[in-house]
Amino acid sequence: MQKLKEEVGRLLASRTSLEPAEVIQLLEIPPEPTYGDLAFPCFALAKSRKKAPPLIAKELSEELGGEEGLLWEKAVSRGPYLNFFIAPRAFGREVLQEVWDKGDKYGHADIGRGGNVPIDYSSPNIAKPFGVGHIRSTVIGHSLSLIYSALGYNTIGINHLGDWGTQFGKLIVSYKRWGDDSELKEDPVNYLYKLYVQFHKLVEEDPALDDEARYWFRKLENGDEEAVDYWNRFRQLSLDNYELIYNMLGIEFDYYHGESHYNQMLEEVIKLVQEKGIATESEGALMIDLEPYGLPSVMLRKKDGATLYITRDLAAAIYRYKTFNFALSLYVVGAEQTLHFQQLFKVLELLGFEWSSRCVHVPFGLIRFKEGRMSTRAGKIILLEEVLKRSIDMAREIIEEKNPDLPDKESAARAVGLGAVRFGDLSNDRIKNIEFDWEKALDFSGETAAYIQYAHARIFSILRKAGTEYTRWDDSAASLLIKEEEVTLIKTLALLPDKILASAENYRPSILARYLIDVAREFNRFYHNCPVLSSEDELKHGRLLLVNATRQVIANGLALLGIIAPEEM
């Protein structure tokens, strides 16, 4: 589609006052396929031509005519729009050739030119079970990391762990009083969480426990050897547990820089804020008045000298810019933290950091499971590990029923089960709350990962039967695909680069996920109406090239969502 845009851009630039890049920027996809394949809004020419846009569109359509070798065959005016229709043979050949040449890099670009993009995502709380509530940040952040990498950026995955605060004083007290080494070794994170819950029950009867917890946290802040040893132990045990989940999901982080990482930088932040004169003392606390900007004031330091979450986030933002000189810095954190990030970015702006405009909060809604459909082993927390394992188990049962002779059912079950959870999240607009439904998520005929993965597996089956017939490029065979279903599928495949870019620009992997449903749907429609293996030789070759291009597009798209494209299932 990009080459078609470039061709139209050069054409209209030669007949108007616009530059090719300006034309390309204005081009739109018409709302209905019958209107055309690309639309140019003539409003942009009204001032220079001193005519109404519909008249300009009509005049341009009369001037233009398709020429041999162009990717479009006619230009038609429709109201204020000039609509271009593709030349099926030339366009089809061009798209399939591009997919053929670029392979697993089709859809990728180099607009990032190696610019650094740190992405803050997942961020579970140390010594607490990895709850399903963290799945959204984890899979959205990981997918954005993959997408930005595909666009030529150097993405840096940062797991901003919740590894500091008074809860560690409570944990130390709990473990010293009631801890058991053997239970800790057997199930570290759930046992620590059990102790934490026990502390909160007992503190109601014995408020002195809170004083003891504050005492131990102060010792931790002051670097007391025993307190630090406990903290390091609890932190490492938690990380070991979280790594099991990240390994299941195929996720690796570049840094596990939690809140504690920035402790040594807090005084520097306080000093900077004071030097800039944007903070005032109020009853012993250090405050920044943000009310003139329509935001509540923020506290950076309590009267007892303790710093707050936003103080550490300021230190983290400054550290990340100094370290990475980022082109963009993303925070994939729930929508309930929107105000916090508005305050954070405003304070960075008031500190004079021009790069504050490159910091972006990527909010998302909540995920819920239908009541009674998910058990838990830890209080009210639904464990993500249980969700993933259950999804794999359910996928295994479905595959056993549908394809009992499948050689490697376990790999297919993992691909489908993990893909169901990821896609069940990513296919929804991130800002909306979602309700996860097992039956819908694992439906092979619905708008699911399984539906897309099944199309991919079906394609592999076709290609296996075809042998080596599709493994050489053939211009003339690629030019034969002019049937409506063939043309529609080709036009859909051509959209992958645009969908990847739009997913990045809008911080919405859902754009790519929904597009892949369209690809699978159009492939199934093509396959139902256009015989492949039984077609005559040259047409068969052309259709196999189209089938293989579809396989490549599905594989490339799923890879950017962190989902496996199985060859059999």
Which residues does 147 contact at the CB level (< 8 Å), separation at least 6?
Answer: 500, 503, 504, 509, 512, 560
CA distance 261 to 83: 56
The DSSP-derived string for 249-305 is HT---SB---GGGGGGGHHHHHHHHHHHT--EEETTEEEE--GGGTS--EEEE-TTS
Give 83's DSSP letter. Answer: E
Give the residue range(s) of CATH 3.40.50.620 domains in the chain: 120-152+263-362
pLDDT of residue 12: 93
CA distance 520 to 524: 6
CA distance 197 to 177: 14
pLDDT of residue 373: 47
In three-state secondary structure terms, 424 is helix
Q: Count CA within 13 A, CB hemisphere, residue 17.
A: 9
pLDDT of residue 221: 87
> 120-152+263-362, which class in CATH?
alpha beta
What is the CATH superfamily name and number for domain 384-560? Answer: Isoleucyl-tRNA Synthetase; Domain 1 (1.10.730.10)
CA distance 488 to 470: 21
Closest CA to 450 of 429, 428, 424, 472: 424
Q: Contact at 8 Å (CB) between 425 and 135?
A: yes
Give 162's DSSP letter. Answer: B
pLDDT of residue 370: 67
In this prediction the pTM is 0.93
CA distance 470 to 250: 32
Give the residue range(s) of CATH 3.30.1360.70 domains in the chain: 2-86
pLDDT of residue 456: 97
149 has which bridge partners?
none
User: How many CB atoms are closer than 10 A to CB 130?
Assistant: 22
Strand positions, DSSP E, 418-463: 434-436
Give the residue range(s) of CATH 1.10.730.10 domains in the chain: 384-560
pLDDT of residue 379: 52
User: Which CATH number applies to 2-86: 3.30.1360.70, 3.20.20.10, 3.30.2420.10, 3.40.50.740?
Assistant: 3.30.1360.70
| Cα separation values, 39 from 7, 19, 79, 171, 539, Å | 13, 17, 11, 62, 31
pLDDT tens digit at each of 569 positions of the chain:
888 999 999 999 998 889 999 999 999 999 888 999 999 999 999 999 999 999 999 999 998 876 677 899 999 999 999 999 999 999 999 999 999 999 999 999 999 999 999 999 999 999 988 888 899 999 999 999 999 999 999 999 999 999 998 889 999 999 999 999 999 999 999 999 999 989 989 988 899 999 999 999 999 988 999 999 999 999 999 999 999 999 999 999 999 999 999 999 999 999 999 999 999 998 889 999 999 999 999 999 988 887 889 999 999 999 999 999 999 999 999 999 999 999 999 999 999 999 999 999 999 998 887 654 444 444 567 888 888 999 999 999 999 999 998 999 999 999 999 999 999 999 999 999 988 887 788 888 889 999 999 999 999 999 999 988 778 999 999 999 999 999 999 999 999 999 999 999 999 999 999 999 999 999 999 999 999 999 998 999 999 999 999 999 999 999 999 999 999 99
